[in-house]
Amino acid sequence: MSTLSVTIIQTRLFWEDKASNLQMLQEKIESVAAGEVVVLPEMFSTGFSMNPEPLAETMDGDTIAWMKDMAIKKRMIITGSLIITENGHYYNRLIWMLPNGAYGYYDKRHLFSYAGEDKHYLPGNKRLVASVKGWKVNLQVCYDLRFPVWARQTTQDTPEYDVLIYVANWPQRRNQAWKTLLQARAIENQSYVVGVNRVGNDGNNIYHSGDSMIIDPLGSILYHKEDSEDISTHILDKKTLHETRERFPFWKDGDRFLLEG
């Protein structure tokens, strides 16, 4: 109960090629010896595509079935986002797939209008805070990182979550913002932050440097990988989290607010 094992998969992605991506990711996941949570990048089955019509799947589609099979087989939670169609609309939807085949999901709230994401997808209107082994995990997607209120801890008797996960396709040209904001979210929320990004060029010839990171509740970088593919497992310690919050109870002094959909 006092530790949580998180595996980061920082990888290249085959552009708009679901079959190749799922085969590649299956091999990578199968190489993970043990752990509790495996984190994949944003739109892991296609890359960050603004072409949802031929790529979108339903919640009964092949990629959800694949996630379920892999989670059951490895007895691990698998999370990452993909393109989902529902009621005639498209969503950049993060799935939190449990080892028993049950799942939760989060629709990306902040759509990247600079690339036209808001023209193709509908935004979500509620956060997903999942639970595993007594840990609370807040799940968000890429551009959400730029909006601190969406990730802010509620100032109640106890913090709302312990780990904040971002899955991303964040370009190298803006990687300083990515790295800085991941640390900022950890410091201001006194939580672990896990940011998982892809590497390599996408179909628009935009380069991604990865820069996946794990950051502790004081903002110290525990893991950082730039430019290359990597599979890395890390143990998060609840004792460190509690000691930080007890010694520096800054979260208690935060402003009270309500999030509106």
Residue 258 pLDDT class (50, 70, 90 cuts):
confident
SS (H, E, C) 25-58: HHHHHHCCCCCCEEECCCCCCCCCCCCHHHHCEC
- Token pair 């290359």: residue: 228
Taking the model in full, what pTM does it have?
0.97
Residue 53 catalytic?
no
Given a cut of 60, whether residue 1 has pLDDT beyond it is: no
Residue 257 scores a pLDDT above 90: no
Of 36, 57, 142, 225, the catalytic one is: 142
Domains of the chain: 3-253 (3.60.110.10)
Catalytic residue among 16, 18, 36, 42: 42
**Tens of pLDDT, residues 121-156:** 999 999 999 999 999 999 999 999 999 999 999 866
Is 108 a known active-site residue?
yes
Q: Which of 18, 108, 179, 225 is catalytic?
A: 108
Mark whether 57 is an active-site residue: no
C-alpha 47/C-alpha 41 separation (Å) is: 9
pLDDT digits (tens, 9 = 90+) for 101-126: 999 999 999 999 999 999 999 999 99
